[in-house]
Amino acid sequence: MRKIFFPFLCFGALLSCSDGDLEIETIDFDSVTLDYCSDPTTDAKNILFKINESESLILELQSGVLNNGVAGETVTTESTVPGQSQITYRVFSDDVDSDYFCSDIPPAQPTVIDEVEAEDGSVIIETIVDPDDASSFLHTISLSGISFVTDSGERITNIAISEFGEVTTNVPD
């Protein structure tokens, strides 16, 4: 009986091994600089991104969430994910740079290996008059409760992206 059981046990162990799918263990963009292709505005959607070698974190802010504040006050706005704004995590086949996002037609290489969209959370924006330039507003963007779930149902919990970055918008004429 042992001679028959052992081969089935080995075969079962082989079936339970990983099929080679990419496993995302950590999403860490806190030390990466925020980038964008065109200056953020208060009256349109804004695409902001962070690139960490062959990974990127893309934030699509809803129109109007970057609002101009009031002199002397801090204005806080919030945008829900995915209802109002969207956060996407991408893994590429090789290192990527801002040209990939800023080209009218993205280059053929590197290719996207994996893409996961956030299923929950919020984007919090604190706005003040820029202390270095009274003709613009400084927006500090933070992420809260962001939750990614892969196609295989794996929840990514090791996320280091609480502080997304800062952008400025000009005071309207």
6 pLDDT higher than 80: no
13 CA to centre of own chain: 36
What does the block give as tokens for 81?
């994910």
What does the block give as tokens for 144?
């809260």
pLDDT confidence tier of residue 170, bands split at 50, 70 and 90: confident
Distance CA 23, CA 56 (A): 16
Beta strand spans in 37-156 (E): 46-52, 55-61, 75-80, 86-92, 112-129, 136-149, 155-156
Task: Work out the percent of the chain whose per-residue pLDDT is above 90.
Answer: 54
Mean pLDDT of the region 142-148: 89
CB 135 within 8 A of CB 171: yes
31 pLDDT higher than 70: yes
Q: Which residue has the higher pLDDT, 161 or 50?
A: 50
Q: How far apart are the first and last CA of the chain?
A: 86
pLDDT tens-digit profile of 105-130?
888 899 999 999 999 899 999 999 99
What does the block give as tokens for 88?
């996407």
- Hey, where are the domains in the chain? 23-170
pLDDT confidence tier of residue 3, bands split at 50, 70 and 90: low
pLDDT of residue 23: 56
64 pLDDT higher than 60: yes
For residue 81, give the 3-state DSSP assignment: coil
pLDDT confidence tier of residue 5, bands split at 50, 70 and 90: very low
pLDDT confidence tier of residue 40, bands split at 50, 70 and 90: very high
Distance CA 24, CA 115 (A): 10
Distance CA 111, CA 144 (A): 29
DSSP per residue, 44-76: S-EEEEEEETTEEEEEEEPTT-S----TT--EE
pLDDT of residue 26: 65
88 pLDDT higher than 50: yes
Q: Which of 30, 64, 70 is nearest to 50 (CA)?
A: 30
12 pLDDT higher than 70: no
19 pLDDT higher than 50: no
What does the block give as tokens for 12?
């079962």
